[in-house]
Structure 1
Amino acid sequence: MNPKLILTALGFLTRLRMPAWVPFDPDSVACAARWFALIGLLLGALAAGLLWLLAPGLGQPLAVVLVLILLLLLTGAFHEDGLADTFDGFWGGWERQRKLAIMKDSQIGTYGVLSLIGCLAIKAVALSQLHLGLAMVALLASHAGGRTVAGLVPVLLPYARSDEGSKTPQRQRSPGFGDQLALMACGAAPLLLLPQEAAAVVALVWAGAFGFMSWLMHRHIRGYTGDTLGATEQVTECLTLIALVAMMNQGWL
């Protein structure tokens, strides 16, 4: 475990300032991608701790909204931006090159706006419905799992763009076995806090998200981009929360 690369991953995925000695060259960021799920675990832990502090005094719904706002500020809406661009591109264009061009455009369209509204609504409502302890576990699992699933997509698909100006680290270095193992170990850690049956269901949800998003990327652009990895992370987060709410309502949790 290389502490420098963990800090590289933390600086890449958040707006936190890193010391000058932390490397951010393309090779270092590509190597640091194996720790993206660990950063998700750390962000989930921070969010869970804040929810635990705020919920007794403010009520869980308001505390959830404040936690979601904090996460957006802390990450710079990094993955949310990818979600909006992906929805705009996939459903705003007809041809592959047009879809890719739309995704690179800094302007946001109707599909992007609606995807963000829907995603944030799902998170807010789901985390408000879960009892406090389970909501804290949900934050850990959804953030770690989302970054695990997104990090594994380059194992299956090629990079979709041919331009050299991309900031997507995975295009420089496809995840090897060690990278995949680190991603999955960090992603699976929060599942130890759930009953075995519930953990198995969440793992199946992640596998389904991986398969569906990979199929969607192949169908629309025959590969992945940084935006589609961000969208995968957000979709996985939402599906994880939905699954936990459904299991709680069925008496599994």
Structure 2
Amino acid sequence: MRAQLVYFFAALRFFTRLPTPAWVDHSQDQLNHAARYFPLVGTLVGLIAATVTLVAAMILPVSVAVMFGMAASVLVTGAFHEDGFTDACDGFGGGWDKEHVLTIMKDSRVGSYATVGVALLLLAKWNALVEIDATFDTLTLGLTLVAAHAISRLAATSLIFTLDYVREDATAKAKPLAVRMAPHELLIAALTGLAPCVLLPASNLLVALLAVALCTWLAARYFVRRIGGYTGDCLGATQQIAELAFYLGLLCSFT
């Protein structure tokens, strides 16, 4: 049990800016097993975003409250996944072969593909969340945030299990996690990623999960075709796309 707790805190430290206990040291072995708790960390991030959103909605319009909730999730993670999404936009948008794509993604400068891509992504998420509140209710909006942050991180985790890591640089963002997961580790990730979803209506949830699965599958196929596998930026991009897909799937289930 202590080992599992250490793996969880290792994941929390790697994926967020939240404090972790001093007795949890740093080691490569911990990070190699941390990905199993990526969705559980997502649940925690979702809870923070949902709490900020629901509290803000008590005194502010929902449209403003949603913005505060989104900002909270970005602050908690240090824009870790948004950064991966922007790098992926620049890399795949501007690169013409594998090496060029990887070189662009490693460049810290932000290009036009990244700027347009992240602007549209954040705008789409904001609009979707506002519509979820209008379509369902504010409580469902909060539950949706928790579920989406968890399941989208499960989507990203699935790439670690199914695809090959393609960077050789030991300092790369996802290198500590780039060890192929064992089936039991994926099972832990799946259970923790799906658990928050049971709080949502089953009839609406199915469409949302199908949307996430489809987008994850398409993303994986695209990554393999372009670069032969995944990088840390691909994981961040998948998380962001899957989160939006969950929101849109939920809205589609209501129509």
| TM-score (structure 1 length as normaliser) | 0.94
> In the alignment, which residue of structure 1 is the partner of 2:128?
126
For 2:83, the equivalent position in structure 1 comes to: 81
> One-letter code of the match for 2:170?
E
CA deviation digits over 1:51-110, x for unaligned, max 9? 111102101100111111111111100000000000100011111100000000000101
SS in 1 for 2:58: helix
Residue matched to 2:119: 117
Following TM superposition, where does structure 1 have runs of at least 4 consecutive aligned residues deviating by more than 3 angstroms? none
Residue of structure 2 in register with 1:170 after alignment: 177
Cα offset, 1:247, TM superposition: 2.2
Structure 1 counterpart of 2:163, one-letter code: L
The Cα of 1:179 is off from its aligned counterpart by 1.0
Quick one: which of 224, 227, 240 aligns to 1:234? 240
Q: Aligned to 2:33, what secondary structure does the other structure show?
A: helix
Paired AA for residue 81 in structure 2: H
The one-character-per-residue Cα deviations of 1:183-220 (angstroms, maximum 9, x if unpaired) are 11111112211222222222212211221110110111
% of aligned pairs identical?
36
Size of the aligned set, in residue pairs, is 248
When the two chains are superposed, the root-mean-square deviation of aligned CA atoms in Å is 1.3
TM superposition score normalised by structure 2: 0.93
Contact 1:142 1:237 survives alignment (8 Å): yes
Q: Secondary structure at the match of 1:57?
A: coil
CA distance in 2 between counterparts of 1:74 and 1:49 reads 13
**1:189 pairs with 2:202:** no
- Given that residues 208 and 253 in structure 2 are in contact (C-alpha distance below 8 angstroms), is that contact kept between their aligned partners in structure 1? no
Residue in structure 1 matching 2:31, options 26, 29, 32: 29
Bigger shift: 213-222 or 131-140?
Answer: 131-140
Kindly report which structure 2 residues correspond to 1:1-253, keeping only aligned pairs within 5 A, or say none: 1=1, 2-131=4-133, 132-168=138-174, 169-171=176-178, 173-248=179-254, 250=255
Deviations 1:96-147, CA, capped at 9 Å, x for gaps:
1000000000001011111110111011111111121221121011100110
What is the alpha-carbon distance in structure 2 between the residues aligned to residue 49 and residue 180 of structure 1?
28
Deviation at 1:166, TM superposition (A): 2.3
